[in-house]
Amino acid sequence: MEKELKLALVRPEELERLLEALPKPRAILAQANHYLVCVEGRTAREKVMVRLRIEERGEDRRACVTLKRRVAAARGVFVSWELEEPLPVEDALAVMEGERELMELDHPATRWLADELQVSALRHQGSLLNLRHVIDLDGYVLEVDRSAFPDGSCDVEIEIETEDPEGARRAVSALAQRAAIELVEQSLGKYTRYLRRGGQS
């Protein structure tokens, strides 16, 4: 299971001020999150998100496929079942360009979808662009995300995958208070917000 603390900036325009208050990022990643759904509706009925991500870090480009299902969420702490495995970039690009069907590829995610949900085909539902700053703070790894949604809105949030979400909350809240930045507990994941802000159904 994956456990993440997610805290959002009340005012996304304060991202630069937040970054100035934090240590220097260890990495800056440009992520294109492409969401796919089963043509028969099985992934939607079982509440399984299917994401193909293409990520750029300077000249380096990587891709992965993620399956995720929410288990619980409270006070900004999200617990999810997740299966995430790399995918060759050329395969990811071929899928996005319509030259290949993801379910035709031999991959842990496609095997799980076929075996567990009897998925035979997926369609591209839509995409979300995310800029991620990966930053170390007090023993925690922060992922500071600026996400652009189809309706033109954007969110800035801090995600921390940890078994100690309350310790992470204290560390981030103390820094935000010193920088006079207001945070709020996130209540919805990116995919749900994508659907509510102009994402295709």
pLDDT digits (tens, 9 = 90+) for 149-170: 999 999 999 999 999 999 999 9
What pLDDT shows up at residue 198? 85
Q: Which of the four pLDDT bands, split at 50, 70 and 90, describes residue 199?
A: confident
Task: Give the tens place of pLDDT for each residue, 90-116.
Answer: 999 999 999 999 999 999 999 999 999
| Distance (Å, whole) CA 161 – CA 159 | 7
Q: How many domains does the chain contain in total?
A: 1
Residue 190 lies in a domain: yes
- 177 Cβ partners below 8 Å, 6+ apart? none
pLDDT score recorded for residue 200? 72
Summarised one tens digit per residue, pLDDT across range 5-60 is 999 999 999 999 999 999 999 999 999 999 999 999 999 999 999 999 999 999 99
Q: What's the token pair of residue 142?
A: 């922060």
pLDDT tier at 73, thresholds 50, 70, 90: very high
Give me the CATH number covering residue 77.
2.40.320.10
Q: Rounded distance, CA 159 to CA 182, Å?
A: 15
Residue 201, in any domain of the structure: no
113: containing domain: 2-196
Instruction: Give me the pLDDT at residue 201, please.
Output: 63
Q: Is residue 12 part of a domain?
A: yes
Which residue, among 110, 155, 140, 156, has the nearest Cα to 4 in the 3D structure? 140
Q: Is residue 68 part of a domain?
A: yes
Domain contains 15: yes
Own/partner contacts of 9-13, CB < 8 Å, gap of 24 or more, are 9/155, 9/156, 9/157, 9/158, 9/181, 9/182, 9/183, 9/184, 10/182, 10/183, 10/184, 11/181, 11/182, 12/146, 12/154, 12/155, 12/156
What integer best gives the mean pLDDT of the chain?
Answer: 96
* Spatial CB neighbours of 176, under 8 Å, sequence gap ≥ 6: 7, 18, 21, 182, 183
